[in-house]
């Protein structure tokens, strides 16, 4: 977070911000904020002379009719505003580069969740997660396609209804007389590896599935030193996860 952005946002929500002092004892800088008849103090953790890392504020009056906002809420709102501004700037750069590379592009040629229905929220590292799952499953028993199909059917609650097994099996890449049987084997393998859980119901033993956090599952396999654990792929996953903010 840029310090000047922090001050701008506080001004935007109705708090008059005084210039920050340069008292950086303990790696922190004190900044005063005031409104008529109100004097508060904030503590700002500084990464360097220009960047702010953490904000801690006492209850801050943010304007008539708005009331008081807790220190956690203020810090959260500031962080969200700056993050949105950062992403907007990055998106503009991407759009400018794309326009330079494909100047004749028609926007209707690009699929976008902003203009189209029928999409799911999935981890951006899903291909690497699936690659690790395949390695853990063992040679000749890949589970990535089966796992991907579950993610394509899930909402943001991790829950998947398996009431159309033949269709799900086909979408998972299995066909022929043993399509459903093979799909069930892969599903049970995913359960054994801890990526999902299964519950019985009207569609039989595999009626419902719950998808667990794949990062937690993979870290558990690393700690347990599970056979066939692909450490090189794990390192690549961690590097990518840190890059996109999926892993802290």
- Domain end call among 61, 87, 113: 87
16: part of which helix (H) or strand (E)?
strand 16-17
Q: How far apart are CA 123 and CA 237, in angstroms?
A: 11
Q: Judge whether 114 lies within some domain.
A: no
What is the per-residue pLDDT for 23?
Answer: 41
- Domain containing 55 equals 3-87
CATH classification of the domain holding 219: 1.10.10
Q: Are residues 135 and 203 in the same domain?
A: yes
Per-block average pLDDT, block size 10, for the chain (248 residues)?
A: 47 44 41 44 44 45 41 55 74 93 93 90 96 96 97 95 97 97 98 98 97 97 97 97 88
Collapsing DSSP to helix, strand or coil, 159 comes out as strand
C-alpha 205/C-alpha 2 separation (Å) is 54
Instruction: Answer with the one of 24, 57, 87 that is the final residue of a domain.
Output: 87
Which residues lie below 8 Å from residue 231, measured CB to CB, with a gap of 6+? 222
Same domain, 133 and 227: yes
Q: Please, which residues bridge with residue 147 across strands?
A: none
Q: Is the pTM of this model over 0.85?
A: no
Q: Which of 33, 66, 87 is the last residue of a domain?
A: 87
CA–CA distances in Å: residue 189 to residues 85, 141, 217:
43, 9, 14
Does residue 60 belong to any structural domain of this protein? Answer: yes
The C-alpha atoms of residue 67 and residue 59 are separated, in whole angstroms, by: 10
């Amino acid at each position: 977070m840029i310090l000047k952005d922090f001050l701008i946002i506080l001004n935007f929500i109705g708090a008059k911000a005084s210039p920050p002092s340069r008292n950086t004892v303990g790696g922190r800088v004190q900044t005063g904020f005031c409104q008529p008849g109100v004097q508060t103090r904030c503590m700002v953790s500084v990464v360097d002379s220009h960047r702010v890392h953490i904000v801690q504020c006492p209850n801050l009056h943010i304007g008539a009719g708005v009331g008081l906002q807790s220190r956690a809420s203020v810090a959260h709102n500031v962080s969200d505003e700056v993050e949105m501004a950062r992403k907007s700037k990055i998106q503009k750069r991407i759009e400018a580069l794309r326009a330079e590379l494909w100047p004749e592009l028609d926007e209707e040629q690009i699929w976008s969740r902003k203009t189209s229905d029928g999409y799911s929220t999935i981890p951006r590292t899903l291909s690497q997660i699936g690659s690790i799952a395949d390695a853990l499953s063992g040679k000749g028993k890949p589970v990535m396609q089966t796992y991907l199909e579950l993610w394509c059917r899930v909402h943001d609650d991790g829950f998947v209804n398996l009431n159309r097994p033949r269709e799900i099996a086909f979408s998972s890449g299995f066909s022929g007389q043993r399509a459903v049987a093979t799909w069930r084997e892969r599903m049970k393998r995913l359960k054994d590896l801890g990526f999902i859980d299964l519950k019985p119901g009207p569609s039989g033993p595999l009626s419902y599935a719950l998808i667990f956090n794949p990062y937690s599952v993979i870290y558990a396999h690393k700690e347990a030193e599970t056979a066939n654990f692909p450490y090189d792929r794990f390192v690549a996953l961690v590097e990518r996860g840190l890059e996109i903010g999926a892993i802290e």
